[in-house]
Structure 1
Amino acid sequence: MPKHVVFDVVGTCVSYSAFFSRISSVLGPRLLANNITPKLFGFAWMESSEREFTYLSISSRYTPYKQVFAAMFYRILWMSGIENPREFATDAERDEIVSSYSELELREGVQETFGMLRDAGFTVWCLTTGDVERVRGYFMKANMDMPLENFRSCDGMGVAKPALAAYKPLFESFGEEEEKWFAAAHILHRFKGAYCSVYEKEDCRELFGVDMDVMADTLPAMAKKIIEASK
Structure 2
Amino acid sequence: MAKHVVFDIVGTCVSFDAYYEKIERVMGPKLKQHSITAKHFGFTWQTVAELEFTFLSVAGSYLPYKDVMRGLFYRTLWMSGIADPQAFATDEEREACIEGYASLQLRPDCGACFQKLRDAGFTVWCFTTGDIQRVKGYFDRGGVDVPLDNVVSCDGLGVAKPALAAYESVWTRLGRDDVKWFAAAHMWDVAAATKVGFRGAWSAVLEKEPCLDVFRDAKMEVVAGSLLEMADSIISKSQG
TM-score of the superposed pair, with normalisation by structure 1: 0.98
- Provide the rounded CA distance (Å) in 2 between the counterparts of 1:6 and 1:175: 13
Matched position secondary structure for 1:193: strand
* Aligned equivalents of 1:89, 1:76: Cα separation in 2: 12
Partners of 1:205 and 1:211 within 8 A in 2:
no
Matches within 5 A, 1:44-83: 44-83=44-83
2:214 maps to 1:207: yes
Q: How does 1:78-89 map to 2 (within 5 A)?
A: 78-89=78-89
Q: Secondary structure at the match of 1:162?
A: coil
Query: How far, CA to CA, are the matches of 2:36 and 2:157 in structure 1?
Result: 37
The one-letter code sitting in structure 1 at the alignment partner of 2:81 is: G
Structure-1 residue corresponding to 2:117: 117
Bigger drift between 208-217 and 66-75 goes to: 208-217
Give the C-alpha shift of residue 43 in structure 1: 0.5
Distance, in Å, in 1 between the alignment partners of 2:94 and 2:175 is 45
Structure-2 separation of matches of 1:208 and 1:170: 22
Q: Report SS of the residue matched to 2:213.
A: helix
**Counterpart of 1:160 in structure 2: which amino acid?**
A
* Equivalent residue in structure 2 for 1:220, among 207, 222, 228: 228
Deviation at 1:108, TM superposition (A): 1.5
**Residue number in structure 1 paired with 2:203:** 196
Offset at residue 96 of structure 1 (A)? 0.4
Q: What SS is found at the alignment partner of 1:42?
A: helix
Q: 1:229 aligns with which of 230, 233, 237?
A: 237
Partner amino acid, structure 2, of 1:184: A
- What value does the CA root-mean-square deviation take over the aligned residues? 0.8
Write out aligned runs for 1:1-231 (5 A).
1-188=1-188, 189=192, 190=194, 191-209=198-216, 210=218, 212-231=220-239
What CA distance in whole angstroms lies between the structure 2 residues aligned with 1:226 and 1:148?
24
Matched positions, count = 231
SS in 2 for 1:10: coil
The answer on whether the counterparts of 1:183 and 1:195 sit within 8 Å (CA) in structure 2 is yes
The offset of 1:127, in angstroms, is 0.4
Deviation by residue 1:41-64 (Cα, 9 ceiling, x = unmatched): 110000000000000000000000
For structure 2, the 5+ residue unaligned runs are none
Q: Secondary structure at the match of 2:126?
A: strand
Q: Deviation digits for residues 184-205 of structure 1, max 9, x if unmatched?
A: 0012212311000100111111
Counterpart residue type for residue 235 of structure 2: I
Task: Please give the secondary structure, in 2, of the residue aligned with 1:4.
Answer: strand
Question: How far has the Cα of 1:211 moved from its partner?
Answer: 5.0
Residue 158 of structure 1 aligns with an amino acid whose one-letter code is G
CA deviations on 1:129-166 (whole Å, 9 max, x unpaired) are 00100000000011211100101000000000011111
Specify the code of the residue in structure 1 equivalent to 2:25.
S
Contact preservation (8 Å) 2:200, 2:219: no
Separation in 1, partners of 2:15, 2:87: 30
Q: Deviations over 1:197-224 (max 9, x none)?
A: 1001111111111351101110000000
Q: Which amino acid aligns with 2:220?
A: M
Partners of 2:95 and 2:233 in 1: how far apart?
40
On the 8 A contact 1:111/1:144 being kept in 2, the answer is yes
Identity %: 52
Looking at structure 2, the residues matched to 35 and 211 of structure 1 have their Cα atoms a distance apart, in angstroms, of 40
CA distance, structure 2, for counterparts of residue 56 and residue 170 of structure 1: 22
